Amino acid sequence: MANWTLIGLLALCHTCLVAGYTKFPAGFTFGIATAAHQIEGAWNVSGKSENVWDRLSHTRPELIADGTNGDIACDSYHRYQEDVDELAYIGVDFYRFSLSWARILPTGRVDHVNPDGIRYYNDLLNALAEKNIEPLVTLFHWDLPQTLQDLGGWANPKMIDYFRDYSDLCFREFGDKIKSWITFNEPYEICEDAYGDIKKAPAIDSHGVGNYLCSDNLLKAHAEAYHLYNETYRPVQNGRIMISINSIWYEPADPNNAELVALAEVANQFKFGWFAHPIFTAEGGYPTAMVENVALQSAAEGLPKSRLEQFDDYWIQRIKGTSDFLGINHYTTFLITGAGVDPTAKDPSWLKDIGAVQTMEVGGDSASEWLRVVPTGFANLLRWCKSSYNDPPIYITENGFSDLPGTLEDYGRISYFNEYLSEILNVIYDDGVKVLGYTAWTLMDNFEWRAGFSERFGFYYVDITDPARPRTPKLSVEYFKQLIANRELPQDEIFKDPAKIRDEL
């Protein structure tokens, strides 16, 4: 008897879990994202110059997991019409893609505009318009022209002018067709991974120093591009402009341990707050915990000044409020397990400056070591953004899951989308978080940076062993298509029960 009651209760509980919110609010929009260097290929044709990822993958192939590069990638430079046809088949409201700076401005500066670069993006924009797909366009998605890296890249304050000039050209050339802009994709990955480590190109590894020089320049460059758009282009073009910040959300390993709760908050300020606090808070500037920790560490190292200095009043005001929406890229959650120096931290470094030990041992896994499946962490991040940044309107500008090459029945991806989207519905309806749109990463398997083609995030499988790079839809194409058609989490059994679908196929 007792057993039957238990089973009954479990069945009931299972039903309540499954029967959460399923319908998206009116006006909620769906899109899919890509980035120029990961899909375009055509790295050396029609006037495009070398970028930092071309340089890294050609000169240090040992840093790419499978020794590949983006020379051909998905060949979107030649096959953008297929990209657009796939997007139209899935039925997206918008397509998020990025512009290749080195394709548009081979010197990095506006002294030489490459007509083929302008032509290529106009062709893509026209193809999208024909299918009624809105463009959401990223100005900088990591592929810095090598010419500018040779001058120091994002560690050079001159980059503020170069980025502003490049943005000016893009607003002028494409602003009649593009109404939604993103300045930077994932500033943390640009500054910490590329200037404070070798995880991304140009792999400068100036840990604890270059990363903070980069953030000073990047945040100022972002603000200058915003003000330029706001003052000069918005009055005639009527668009909107934002920044997309990536987060690994940190949770305390034990939510009842006050010290771990406080440390997780510090870690979130170091990760998300590093770039969000200067833009989205009323007081502006870098987060207090970050300024204090780095100052203490710097003094202990014998430095006369902190490796991370607070902005002066001019720049605090200039950077504050410069994003129409909060763009969030989110994939995963890590745990904070204790105070002290993380065993993987270099000296000095951003990670050491946090003063907390972290672990990835949480949630389900994916093909990427860093990507753990923790849907509730997404909800906690979104609630934290609402309370930390005065309830901003939010676009999820990336979210996705990796599996191994050739996984066509991609249940891992489908269940990841379903669970993460379900958490978005929870925070919209239960907590009033203003999430307005969702962007899945990514249209097709592409050059996944240092992972090469060894980890796959696409809706379409791309066979890179075939020179024609054929594309094959995965099951998630049908999932996302149905989601968008009905504006509701797909209820089909086919998407819920891997065992069943295998029998049916």
For ligand NAG, the binding residues (CB under 6 A) are 44, 71, 230, 321-322
d(CA 203, CA 149): 11
Q: Which is nearer to ligand NAG, 321 or 405 (CB)?
A: 321
d(CA 156, CA 223): 16
Q: Which of 368, 99, 376, 139 is nearest to 251 (CA)?
A: 376
Shortest distance, CB of residue 71 to ligand NAG, whole angstroms? 4
Shortest distance, CB of residue 366 to ligand NAG, whole angstroms? 30
Burial class, 217, CB count within 10 angstroms (exposed 0-12 / middle 13-18 / buried 19+): buried
Q: How far is CA 79 from the centre of its chain?
A: 24
Shortest distance, CB of residue 247 to ligand NAG, whole angstroms? 23
Write down the H helix ranges in 257-398.
Answer: 258-268, 274-280, 288-300, 313-319, 350-354, 375-388
Q: Which is nearer to ligand NAG, 260 or 319 (CB)?
A: 319
Of the residues 398, 423, 448, 455, only one is catalytic, namely 398
Q: Which is nearer to ligand NAG, 69 or 439 (CB)?
A: 69
Shortest distance, CB of residue 105 to ligand NAG, whole angstroms? 19
**Helix/strand/coil for 408:** coil
The phi, psi pair for 59, rounded to 5°, reads: -100, -20
User: Judging by DSSP bridges, how do beta strands 180-185 and 435-441 pair with one another?
Assistant: unpaired
398 as an active site residue: the answer is yes
Q: Which is nearer to ligand NAG, 44 or 122 (CB)?
A: 44
Sign of the Cα torsion 231, 237, 238, 241 reads negative
Q: Which is nearer to ligand NAG, 71 or 309 (CB)?
A: 71
Q: Which is nearer to ligand NAG, 147 or 211 (CB)?
A: 147
Shortest distance, CB of residue 390 to ligand NAG, whole angstroms? 14
Q: How many CA atoms lie within 13 A of 237 on its CB side?
A: 23
The amino acid at 93: D
8 Å CB contact between 68 and 455 = no
Shortest distance, CB of residue 179 to ligand NAG, whole angstroms? 16
Catalytic residue annotation: 398
